[in-house]
Structure 1
Amino acid sequence: MPPQEDTTAPVDGSTTTVRAGDLEVGVIDIGSGVPLVLVHGGESDRTQFTALRARLGDGIRAISYDQRDSGVTVCPPVPYSLSDLADDLVHLLDALELPTAHLLGASFGGVVAQHVALRHPDRVDSLVLVATAPSYAMGSPALDDLLTMPHEERQRAAVEYFYTPESEAARAGRAGTLSLRSPEQSARRHRVAQEHEVCDRLADIAAPTLIVHGTHDLLAPFSGAVLMQQRIPNAKLRPIDGGRHAIVAEFPSTVALRVREFLGLEAT
């Protein structure tokens, strides 16, 4: 059984908007120190990392933002690619006057982070890949079903996939990390996720990489984490025993501790 954690967290600070490339992007930018960009999952937004941010501690400037079709970011209602999402993150770095940053991507956010590392290696100090995969095809067959459900049905179904049965969220019967989108927005997000396939390019990721993954992830099987560890040069894999897909929300203290260790910061 995985360890239980107190996931109670304060409300994140005020959201601002910045002009990044052609987009108006919603951003939460808190703390000072090494810049760590938190890249949210496919069904989430910038607020996904409230519990994690509260535990990251001193010495980290934690920046989360809304991707296209997410939160308060304003984008054109047209299809886009993973390359576009990677470029969007770099445009955000430019807007914040950051030549480089560490990237932490959870689930689909880890997909975006992988594409940034491959497309813009000079902008990435390191990668933390959480509950993600090197290929959409390596995901659980349940993934397509989950992503095409109506929002309320998906909220109910996600509880089992995201959390261990012992978690507070599971006991309360709520997923807590899913954002409401229009059918058109959801379809664009689903379509771009299906593009992801970098298994044969993992060896080209030059950034130091930490992989944090639940051993019982029901959407991104642990085998994908093992493959990334094997193929990304000098990657480190730190499993969370028994964890499922929402380990950032369910085990924020554990994830934060591993991030601080990876960045060479003292435990808080």
Structure 2
Amino acid sequence: MPDDTTAPADPATSIVRAGDLEVGIIDSGSGVPLVLVHGGESDRTQFTALRAHLGPGIRVISYDQRDSGVTVNPPVLYTMSDLADDLVHLLDALDLPSAHLLGTSFGGAVAQHVALRHPERVASLILVATSPSYFFEGAAIDELLSMTHEERQRSAVEFFFTPEGRPAQGGRVNVLTKRSPDKNSRREHVIRQHEVRDRLAEISVPTLIVHGTEDRLAPYAGAVLMEQQIPNAQLKAIEGGRHAIAQEFADRIALWVREFLGVDAT
């Protein structure tokens, strides 16, 4: 049993039974259902800034993946398919036949696998600062994964934010979740499984890709490839943006999301 998943961490968090897991979620607002899928180093709380800008007309759901936040899962290895199925089990638990998915970084990888494995449950995809393949990302992601949590905290500001956006972070990034060694090992194992470059053309749902042109962890060329290969995709670039664009440019991205979902700006 994981040692830090015994209870909700704050009043906004609730626990739902989804398949074989006890999953921590934050579920707010009403309207079009939008599930936010967090990155590899984060949890359900990653989207505080984005959630604040999404506005009315959207039901915003963020959740903890396996080995993240307050979710309780078996201490065994799992696959990208398992993570995709977990999200669908969550939709079942919330009585949602389908939902729009917004994934950032590794969460975007999970969202791609859901769209390929369960296309009938995905209304649309919004892929933020993500990649079609772990192996497309190059040495920077290996460098980050090789660090201790404390080293990642010190280095992540430069990896994640533009020079202009760094002062607001106070010298550190507050979206990096500290995990036990076993949890880190399982997360890193599954991250390295992500490879869908040869399957992008099978993604049939409308897709919005949002990417920073200076992202070292998920190179911009991967976003271009996704736009080229996914049949119904559009790419919006943030010039100079790095990996944490969903946090640093939350207001701009929220506006694009509302337009993409067809939610009235008023």
Q: What is the TM-score with the length of structure 1 in the denominator?
A: 0.94
Q: Does 1:165 align with 2:163?
A: yes
Q: Which amino acid aligns with 1:31?
A: G
Q: Percent same amino acid among aligned pairs?
A: 71
Aligned twin of 1:76 = 74
* Gapped regions of structure 1 (runs ≥ 5): 1-11
SS at match of 2:144: helix
Equivalent runs, 1:54-69 vs 2, <5 Å: 54-69=52-67
Q: Which amino acid aligns with 1:199?
A: R
Aligned twin of 2:126 = 128
Equivalent runs, 1:115-264 vs 2, <5 Å: 115-169=113-167, 172-264=170-262
Q: Does 1:34 align with 2:54?
A: no
On the 8 A contact 1:169/1:175 being kept in 2, the answer is no
On the 8 A contact 2:212/2:241 being kept in 1, the answer is yes
SS at match of 1:71: coil
On the 8 A contact 1:44/1:70 being kept in 2, the answer is yes
Separation of aligned partners in 2, 1:160 and 1:255: 21
SS at match of 1:104: strand
Root mean square deviation of aligned Cα:
1.2
Aligned twin of 2:5 = none
Q: What is the TM-score with the length of structure 2 in the denominator?
A: 0.94
Q: Which amino acid aligns with 2:195?
A: E
Separation of aligned partners in 2, 1:28 and 1:221: 30
String of CA shifts for 1:183-211, please: whole Å, max 9, x gaps: 11111111101011100100000110000
Aligned twin of 1:3 = none
On the 8 A contact 1:103/1:128 being kept in 2, the answer is yes
On the 8 A contact 2:98/2:121 being kept in 1, the answer is yes
SS at match of 1:254: helix
SS at match of 1:176: coil
Q: Which amino acid aligns with 1:161?
A: F
Aligned twin of 1:19 = 17
Aligned twin of 1:51 = 49
Separation of aligned partners in 2, 1:140 and 1:59: 39
SS at match of 2:209: strand
String of CA shifts for 1:21-46, please: whole Å, max 9, x gaps: 00000000000000000000000000
* Change in CA separation of 1:80 and 1:242 when aligned onto 2, cut-off 3 Å: same
* Gapped regions of structure 2 (runs ≥ 5): 1-9
On the 8 A contact 2:104/2:130 being kept in 1, the answer is yes
Separation of aligned partners in 1, 2:168 and 2:136: 25
Q: Which amino acid aligns with 1:222?
A: Y
Q: Which amino acid aligns with 1:104?
A: L
